[in-house]
Chain A
Amino acid sequence: MERLSNLKQVLGKKLFDKVENSRILMVGSGGIGCELLKNLVMGGFKNIEIIDLDTIDLSNLNRQFLFQKQHIGKSKSKVARQSALEFNPNVNIIAHHDNIKDPQFNIKWFKSFDIVMNALDNLDARRHVNTMCLAANVPLIESGTSGYTGQSTVIKKNVTECYECQPKPTPKTFPICTIRSTPNTPIHCIVWAKNYLFAELFGKSEDNNEINDEVTEENNTEIENLKKESQALKELFKLAGKPEYSEKVFEKIFNLDILRLLRMENLWKTRTKPKPIDNEQYKKALEINMEMDNNNNDSKTKDNQKIYTLEENINIFKNCFEILVQRQLKGKEVDPDFSMSFEKDDDVIMKFVAATANIRAHIFHIEQLNRFKIKEIAGNIIPSIATTNAIISGVIIMDAYKILNNQLEDCNTIFLTRDSSNVFVNEFLSKPNPRCAVCRKSYFVLTVNIEKFTLNDLLNKVLMSPKDKNGLALNGDITICEDQRILYDFDFDDKLNDTFSKVKIEDGKCLNVTCDDDDKMYNVMIYVINNR
C-alpha cells in the first residue's frame, strides 16, 4: 500500500479507491497497449483484462517494450501480462489470446467493465467494440497513433459522438481491369503482384478485398477472359516441383498474358503498348551471376533502397518463387488445403512481390520502386514509435481518472500534433450525430434459454408486446436478421416456430430488427444471452 501513497495523495482517497475497485478492459496489446498496460498497473488499477489476437513480431520490438526477442511468435496479450506482473505482482490481469469479435465476449461480459480502452490498429475491431460499448452502455476511450501524431477521445452512449458518427474513409479499392489489364501507376503493379499473382499462386484468391471485381456492362466480357486467365495460371500448378514450373509461370504472366492484352487493340489507342518478355530474354537474364542470399541477409537497408535491373528482378523472381513453391508443397503434404497469406515481414514473400511488381512495371513502362517503398505500400505500413504511443497512453489514463470521478463530460478529444508550438490540440467532446446509424439505434439485451425460446416468442413476447409488459411495442412490418441472414420478414415466416438454437442464434449473437411503420423506421439491436 505504501508504494502508491503518492498517487493516493495526488488523486485523493475517494478517487483512488474508485480506481482500485474499477474493472478495465484493454482491447489490443500492441503499440499503445504495452504503454497503456504499464500505466494502468502503475496508475492504481487493480483489475484489468486484456485481449489481443496477435502474436509478437520482430518489427514490434522498437516500441512494444514488454516484448523481447525470445517472445517472438508468442501471444501478445499473454506476454504483456507476464512482463507487467514481473514488475508489479499485486495486480489482477486476465489475458485473452482471442478475437474480440468471438461470441464469448458478449454483452454481459462488456457490461462487467467500468471502462473499455481501445488500443487497436484496425477499423473493423474498432467498429465492433464501439457497437458493443454502446449496447452495454460502458464508456469507451478510443485512440490511435501514426508516426509523431496521435489522438484520443471518449465515447459514451447518448452523451458523445460515437466512433461512427462521422463517416470513416473507406479503404481504397482498384477496378479489376486497371489492375489486370491497364496498370498505369506503381501501385497498380504492386496490387497486381500481391493481390492477384501471389494470392492466385500461393494463397486463397477469394480474399482480394483491394480489387473491385464488380461486373458491369462494360467490363463483363473482359472479366470472363480474366477468369479464364487466372484459371490457366492455376492449372500450371500440376507442374509444381518440376524444374520447368518457374519458367512456365513466368512465360504465362509476363509473356502470354501480355500478348493477349496486346491483341485487344482498342486498349492501346490512347496508351503505350506493354512490352512482353519472351523466353529467350528470361533465359539470358538467368545467365548473369547474381549472388542470392536467403538468410534474411538481404534485408539490409541498402539492398532495400536499390532499384534492380530487369535481369536482377528475373533472378529474384526465380529464386523466391522456387522457395515459396517448396513451402507450399511441404504444407500441402500435411494439409491439402494449405495456403499462404501475404506477410509483409516475410522476406521471401516481400522480395517475390517486389520483383514481380517491378517486372510488370517494366513491361508497362511504369516507374519502378525500391523494396522499402513497395513494402510500405503493400503492407499498408503506418510508421510507429514508442514516444507517441506513450504520450497517448498517458492521455488515456488521465481520461480514465476523469470518467471514474464522474467528470466524463470534462474529457476532451485530444490531438497530438507534429506542430511543436501546439503539442496538444484539445476539442470538446461532440454530441451524438442524430443521423448516426450506429449510436442512434436502440440496444436491447435478451436473456433466454435458446433451446426453448422461438422466433415466434421473440416476435410476440418481446417485439410486439406492450411496454407495460416489458416489450418494445413495435407496430409495423418487422424484419429480423442475423448479420446478413434474414430470419423473418413479412413474406418469410417458415422459421417462426424454430427455437433460437435451431436457427443457430447462440449465446453472444446479435439480431438486427427493423420495423417499418409507414412513416418511420425503427432499428433495434438485440443481444442474445443464453440462460440455461
Chain B
Amino acid sequence: MKPEINKSMIYDRQLRLWGDQGQNSLETANICLLNATVSGTESLKNLILPGIGKFTIVDDKKVTGSDVGSNFFLTIDQIGQSRAKCVTELLKNLNEFVEADYLEKDPVFLINENDKFFSQFNVIIASNMQEKELIKLNKICSNENIILVSLKTNGLFGILRSYVPEHTIIDAHPENVTDYRLDRPFQGLIDYCKSFDFSEMTIVEHSHMPFIVILYQCLEEFKSKHDGKMPSSYSERNELKEIIKSLRLNNDEENFDEAEKSIFKACKPTIIPSQLKEMFCDIKCSNINENSSNFWIIINAFADFAERHNCLPHSGIIPDMKSDTEKYVELQNIYRKKFQEDFYEIRQKVNTTLAQINRPIESIKDEQIITMIKNGSDLRIIRYRTLEDEFINQPNVSLIAQSLNEEFNNMVYYLLFRAVDHFYETHYRYPGVDNDSLDNDLELLKKSVEVITSQYSIDYSLIPEEAMQEIVRAGMSEIHTVSSLVGALVSQEILKLVTCQYTPMNNTCIFNGIQTTTTSYDL
C-alpha cells in the first residue's frame, strides 16, 4: 500500500478535532528539540504521533543510568551512547510519515555561535535551558518568526513558557455560535419572517414554525411600542417575553419555549468585538504589503467590510431548532445566502489586495476565508511578551507579588525555578545533585532565592522553607510521570499554536505534582 492511502484512516480521530487545515499545518511543522530530556522526549512523542513534518534533536550528552531509569525509550544497553541519536532512532519508529534528524552538539554552543541554524525550524522546544541562553534564543525566534516553548522539570514540579512573536487564532472552536441578526435583519430574513401569518395557521403549523420567526414578529410588535428600539433592559426583555407568551396556543409548544429562552441572545446588539476593532487599527491591517500574511490580508478585507456594513460577515450558521423540516431548510438557506453574499464581498476585496501585491489569487484559498468568517467574533491575535521583558526589562512585579499572597499558590515554584537557574549560574551545578551536600546546597539556594526575590522587591520570607527543601531533595532529577505530564502539556500547547486553532496559554504554566494543580500566569 502506498503511504498516502492510509493517512486519513490513521489520523481520523484527530482530524475530527482540527480538520484538514489543522492537519496540513501540522504536517508542515519542522520542530527542533534542544536536549533530549524525558519531558522533551515525551513532548516530541506526542507531536510525532499525530504527524508533524520533521523533527531534529540537538543534544551532545551521552545516555546515563538515570536517563534509562526515567526515559521510557532508552534501554540499559544504550548507556554511554549519544542521547540525541538513541532517542531520535526510537522516536522515528512511532510514525513513518515523520522525517527525523539529530545533531550531536551542545545547544548552548549553537545559540551562541551559530544562530542561523535555527532559521530552518518553525517550532523550538527548549528543554532545561538557562535563562541567559533562553533570552538569546527568544531573540532568534522573534526575528525568524519561530514558536518557542521552553520547559523544565525538577522532581514533582514543572514549568513551561510559550513565546510566539505574533500568534493568530483563526479557529477558536467556540462552543455555541449565535448570530441571528434580529436587531438589524437583512432583507431575505425580513421577507421570510413576514410570510408567516399567525392567525391563518393550523395548530400543527403554529407549533412548527422556527423560533426565529416568533422572535422577529414579537420584536416588531415590541419596537412599534418603543420608537423602533430593541429591548435593552431586564424589564423590557420581560415585556418581550409577555408578548411571546400571549401568542402561545398552549404550553406544549416547544418552539415558543425556544423563543423565550433565546430572548437575551436575540436582543444582544450585533457589534464588532473589541479585539477585532483593535486588529482593524493595527498597522499590519492598514499597511498591507508583499510581506503581509494571509491572515492580515483577510483581516484587512474584514475591516473594509465592517466600514461599509458596521458588522462582521455572517457565518451562515444557525442552531438546530424545533421546526418542520421544510421551513427549517428554507431558513437555513436564507442565512446561507447571506453568508455567500458576505463571502463574495470579502473574496473580491482579498482578490483586489492580492493583485496589488502581485500574489496569485490561489495563494489564499476559499476555505481559509470561510474558516475566518465562521470564527469572525472569535478571531484573536496574541503577542507574547519576550523572556527579556519577563526577566529583565519589565518583570510583572505586581502579578508576582499578588499571587504570592494567595494561599496554596504556585508562584513560589516559579521563583524557585528562577532561583535554581541563578544557583546554576553561580555554582555551575544544580542544587541537590550531590547527596552529601544537601544541607549546604539548601543554604546556597536560600542565597539565590534572596537574590531573585530582591529583584522584585518581594519579602524573602514568602518562600516557605519546605518548598526549598523539596527542590534540593529532588536535585533537578526527572521523574517519569511528572516529565511525561509536563511534556504533554507542552505538546498540547504546540498543537494549538501550530494549527492556529483553540486558545493557547499565554504565557507560563506551573505544574505542582504534590497537589496535582496547574496555574497559568501572564508573566
A296 closest partner in B (C-beta): B5
A367 closest partner in B (C-beta): B329
Chain B residues with Cβ below 8 Å from A65 are: 45, 49, 94
Smallest CB–CB gap between B134 and chain A, Å?
A: 21
Name B505's contact: one of A69, A376, A421 (CB within 8 Å). Answer: A421
CA distance A412 to B408 in the complex (A): 15
Task: Give the contact stretch, choosing among B15-23, B417-425, B449-457.
Answer: B15-23
Cross-chain contact A388 with B492 (CB below 8 angstroms): yes
Chain A residues with Cβ below 8 Å from B332 are: 367
B500-523 interface code vs A (CB 8 A; 1 in, 0 out): 001111100100010111101000
Name B502's contact: one of A88, A148, A391, A399 (CB within 8 Å). Answer: A148
Chain A residues with Cβ below 8 Å from B481 are: 39, 42-43, 394, 397-398
Q: What is the total number of residues of chain A having a CB less than 8 Å from a CB of chain B?
A: 76
Cross-chain contact B66 with A5 (CB below 8 angstroms): yes
Smallest CB–CB gap between B65 and chain A, Å?
A: 5
Cross-chain contact A365 with B329 (CB below 8 angstroms): yes
B156 at the interface (CB under 8 A from A): yes
Chain A residues with Cβ below 8 Å from B348 are: none
User: Chain B interface mostly helix, strand, loop or mixed?
Assistant: helix
Q: Scan residues 312-344 of chain B and give those whose CB is less than 8 A from a CB of chain A.
A: 320, 324-326, 329, 332
Chain A residues with Cβ below 8 Å from B326 are: 272, 365
A73 at the interface (CB under 8 A from B): no
CA distance A411 to B517 in the complex (A): 11
Task: Give the contact stretch, choosing among A217-225, A314-322, A379-387.
Answer: A379-387
CA distance A471 to B384 in the complex (A): 69
Smallest CB–CB gap between B332 and chain A, Å?
A: 8
B488 at the interface (CB under 8 A from A): yes
A304 at the interface (CB under 8 A from B): yes
With A7-B479, A272-B325, A300-B4 as known contacts, state yes or no: A383 contacts B17, CB within 8 Å: yes
Smallest CB–CB gap between B191 and chain A, Å?
A: 21
Name B488's contact: one of A87, A301, A394 (CB within 8 Å). Answer: A394
Chain B residues with Cβ below 8 Å from A364 are: 325
Cross-chain contact B14 with A385 (CB below 8 angstroms): yes
Cross-chain contact A147 with B17 (CB below 8 angstroms): yes
Cross-chain contact A386 with B45 (CB below 8 angstroms): yes
Name B517's contact: one of A11, A42, A305, A424 (CB within 8 Å). Answer: A424
B62 at the interface (CB under 8 A from A): no
B46 at the interface (CB under 8 A from A): yes
Q: List the interface of chain B (C-beta within 8 A of A).
A: 1, 4-6, 8-17, 20, 42, 45-46, 49-51, 65-66, 68-70, 72-76, 93-96, 155-156, 173, 202, 204-205, 208, 320, 324-326, 329, 332, 435, 473-475, 477-482, 484-485, 487-489, 491-493, 495-496, 502-506, 509, 513, 515-518, 520
Give the top 6 A-B pairs by smallest Cβ distance, nearest first. Answer: A394-B485, A3-B69, A390-B488, A42-B480, A420-B505, A6-B477
Q: List the interface of chain A (C-beta within 8 A of B).
A: 2-7, 9-11, 35, 38-39, 41-43, 58-59, 61-63, 65, 68-69, 87-88, 147-148, 184-185, 269-272, 295-297, 299-301, 304-305, 345, 364-367, 372, 375-376, 381-388, 390-391, 393-395, 397-399, 411-412, 414, 418-424, 426
Additional pairs, 6, CB under 8 Å, beyond known A41-B72, A387-B489? A2-B65, A4-B69, A9-B474, A147-B16, A304-B8, A383-B17
